[in-house]
Amino acid sequence: MSGLAFKAVGIRYDYLHAERLQLIPQQTPITFNVNLVIGPNALVRGDVVEIPFSLAASSNPSLVNISIRGALVIQGDAKQIEDIAKSINSGKPPQFVQVMIGQYVFFEVNLLLKELGIPPAMPITPQPQQRQGEGMMYA
């Protein structure tokens, strides 16, 4: 499925749940267990496919639980959409679907962790800042 181009791509969250179970003890290393399930019931409506997903994340030690359910919605060529749905329903989601859902969902997980006062599951590297007066030059 190379050369993919879609009319629209979006995410719909149907359920978000995050709870802090206890305060973080100082100097405690935290690891996260994450289970992301994609499909298998992709729903096609004309040139649109809805790909359901669910995520369950917990920490060790037991500090936080997060559950997210929703769907990736893709609009595009009817043939491409049908091929994507067949892949999802056969239990083999295409790599680009996994990446798209992962990008949306892991951003949301980090946002929820921040709101609960817990360090992010995946550290976000800051963008290098340009100094005042520097800019891009094009010839």
pLDDT digits (tens, 9 = 90+) for 102-120: 999 999 999 999 999 887 7
pTM over the 0.75 mark: yes
- On the question of pLDDT at 137 being above 80, the answer is no
Rg of the chain on CA atoms, in Å? 19
- Strands of 21-105, DSSP E: 31-38, 43-45, 48-60, 64-75
Given pLDDT bands bounded at 50, 70 and 90, which one contains residue 139?
Answer: very low
Q: How many CB atoms lie within 10 A of CB 127?
A: 6
pLDDT at res. 121: 64
Structural contact between residues 19 and 64, judged by C-beta atoms closer than 8 angstroms:
yes
Alpha-carbon gap, residue 117 to 122, rounded angstroms = 14
Q: What are 33's two structure tokens? A: 């267990």
What does the mean pLDDT of the chain come to? 86
46-97: pLDDT as tens digits: 999 999 999 999 999 999 999 999 999 999 999 999 999 999 999 999 999 9
Res 1 pLDDT > 80:
no
Asked if the model's pLDDT at residue 123 lies above 60, the reply is no
